[in-house]
Amino acid sequence: MAPEGQTDPWDPLVAAVVRGLVESARNLGLELPEADVRSALNLDGGPEGDLAFPAHRLSAMARRAPPEVAQQLASGFPPSPGVRSVAATGAYVNVRVDPAVLARATLELALGRGGAYGHRPRAGGPVCVEHTSANPTGPFHVGRVRNAILGDTLARCARAAGADVTTQYYIDDMGRQAAMISWIWAKPRDEWPESVRAADEGRGSETDKPDRHFGRIYPAVSAYLKDHPDAAAEVARVVQQVESGTPPSNHRQITQQILDGMLASLGRLGVGFDEFVWESDFLRDGSVGRVLDRLRSSPHAVTEENGALAIDAAAHGLPKESTHIVVQRGDGTSLYVTRDVAYHLQKFARFERVVDVLGQDHQLHARTLDALLAEIGEPRRPEFVIYQDITVPEGGRMSTRKGSAVWLDDLLAEAVARARTEVLARREDLAESDVDRIAEAVATGAIRFHIARVAPEKPVVFRWEDALSFEGRSGPFVQYSYARAASLLRRGAADRPPYPFDPERLADPEEIALVKVVAKFPRIVAYAARSAHIQSLAGYAHELADQFNRFYHAVPVLKSDVERPSRLALVAAVRQTLGNALDLLGLVRLETM
């Protein structure tokens, strides 16, 4: 069995190679810290080996040509456990490990740790990941969903990496939009303006949800308020009531209803939240007031002619022309950024690390928030994960107002319809409920993967055909590979775990290659969590599925003879690893499809 506490099958091999290189270098008269060797060692290997060590830096120290140094490092390399060969190729020392040793460690870890393979033990203090936090004023469009998928995947990765994660959704119930909602909802429908009632046509249809419902009438309400000052004044009064801590009695319930509709859509994508934080609470509990008190005593505080409070924060590295931060209006009401300071102080009180997932249009807000935290003497800062917009082919961001938004619900509906067609074309034996279940999983998997695979800082142009791809580098391809592995294990049920595998039997090149991909999973998870590059996880899932399919075509499993138990063990390890990767990406595992 693998040593207690080991999580990465490569660890003992890498440690042995590092020790060997250090020892070999010592014979050349060079003392190297193990950490330096370790960081220079290429764990992905190269064309000539499983692990590669470039000798250039050493050659400078030794004042000899790189190939010569590489040669000497290789020839002086001591016999080490698990190391099959060490040879110089040009300026590189190439190490080949014993594939059976790696296979044994990998299968033991993947099968032994099961769902915990790739995960690390709990370590560190509590972490808050705030994401999505879209204003509850209408349905999600695809642009907003990038935040949810990024944040949710990040939270899953952080948990796997050992963090104690709490996810939060910050609910804005204080804006004018929220006030518009409770204003119109408080009225009996027959008192609604004609134009709003007209926009309300179609209500009660099958796809109707509170968020869709309000999303439909919002433009009409907004237009109506422009031409009707009386009504606008009523809405302004609602804003005031919320500000003063006495919102209309139904205010929060209405906001909650719309939010529930939105969350139902996200739920289909596997996105959920541990906690919901209401913005108005920070006003009610006096914490915004306390923030303002602290800001007022800042040497950079200035009071405007109309009584507004501002901070001249030139010292905090803000862009020119953005250093004048108004933190309280002339009429004494609060501002978003000030409330956000209060929110972050609450987060810092509870969490060791605070992560905020924000669209790039909030970049300046993030820096302003930092500046204000500095102003009040708070030493800690949130870690911002910033992503770029999803735009439409015609150009520009998705906009409800311009009608260019693609609703998540519509994308889901189309994806499910296409997935159903695909399932039906392949499977005639399935019950209707299974067809639905698989189609839903394929559809949501395609969408999640499509967004997770692209680096957050890349701008994305939304195209239906791309988002609905079920082939190649896609979620369904990974899900399909998982189902294939599951199917093999089902059909091979005569052999049951624990499979009595013999790592020496896994000698085919495709088997060795597959073991290597399984073996690097823990490293990928750790990197994804550390760097917030969730695309590396999506890329890995595809790579593992891809190599599994190659293996599948290259060697028989169930029909093999002496290799059968070992191959089944490998398939079981792949299924486990692929499943763990799907979990982290928030894709549904399908045992059959």
SS3 label, residue 42:
strand
Nearest distance, CB of residue 196 and RNA, angstroms = 21
Interface of this chain with RNA, residues 196 to 215, rule: CB under 7 A: none
Interface of this chain with RNA, residues 263 to 302, rule: CB under 7 A: 279
Answer positive or negative: Cα dihedral of 95, 101, 107, 109. negative
Q: Which two tokens stand for residue 119?
A: 């995960």
- The reply to whether 347 sits near RNA by the rule CB under 7 A is no
Interface of this chain with RNA, residues 556 to 575, rule: CB under 7 A: 556-559
Q: Specify burial of residue 251 (Cβ count, 10 A radius: 0-12, 13-18, 19+).
A: buried
Interface of this chain with RNA, residues 491 to 520, rule: CB under 7 A: 491
DSSP assignment letter at 379: -
Q: Out of 39, 205, 249, 433, which residue is the one contacting RNA (CB under 7 A)?
A: 39
Q: Which is nearer to RNA, 197 or 316 (CB)?
A: 316
Interface of this chain with RNA, residues 419 to 478, rule: CB under 7 A: 419, 422-423, 426, 438, 442, 453-455, 457-461, 466, 469-474, 476-477
| CB-CB contact of 536 with 569 (8 Å) | no
Q: Which is nearer to RNA, 458 or 496 (CB)?
A: 458
| CB-CB contact of 358 with 326 (8 Å) | no
Which one of the spans 155-163, 201-209, 321-329, 348-356 is the region binding RNA (CB under 7 A)?
A: 321-329
- The reply to whether 226 sits near RNA by the rule CB under 7 A is no
Residues ≥6 apart with Cβ < 8 Å to 414: 464, 468
CA–CA separation, 310 and 326 (whole Å): 4
- The reply to whether 244 sits near RNA by the rule CB under 7 A is no
Q: Out of 21, 52, 86, 468, which residue is the one contacting RNA (CB under 7 A)?
A: 52
Cis-peptide, bond into residue 66, ω within 30° of zero: no
Can you tell me which residue has the tokens 């939060």?
168
User: What ranges in 297-431 are assigned the alpha helix state H?
Assistant: 336-350, 363-375, 408-426
Nearest distance, CB of residue 121 and RNA, angstroms = 20
DSSP assignment letter at 493: T
# residues near RNA by CB under 7 A: 106
β-partners of residue 17 are none
Nearest distance, CB of residue 155 and RNA, angstroms = 19
Q: Out of 68, 248, 527, 565, which residue is the one contacting RNA (CB under 7 A)?
A: 527
- The reply to whether 546 sits near RNA by the rule CB under 7 A is yes
Strands 324-328 and 309-312: antiparallel
Q: Which is nearer to RNA, 257 or 444 (CB)?
A: 444
- For residue 408, the number of C-alpha atoms closer than 13 Å in the C-beta half-sphere is 30
Which one of the spans 35-43, 113-121, 182-190, 230-238 is the region binding RNA (CB under 7 A)?
A: 35-43
Q: Which is nearer to RNA, 265 or 334 (CB)?
A: 334
CA–CA separation, 453 and 537 (whole Å): 8
Interface of this chain with RNA, residues 112 to 171, rule: CB under 7 A: 135
- The reply to whether 34 sits near RNA by the rule CB under 7 A is no
Q: Out of 63, 226, 401, 553, which residue is the one contacting RNA (CB under 7 A)?
A: 553
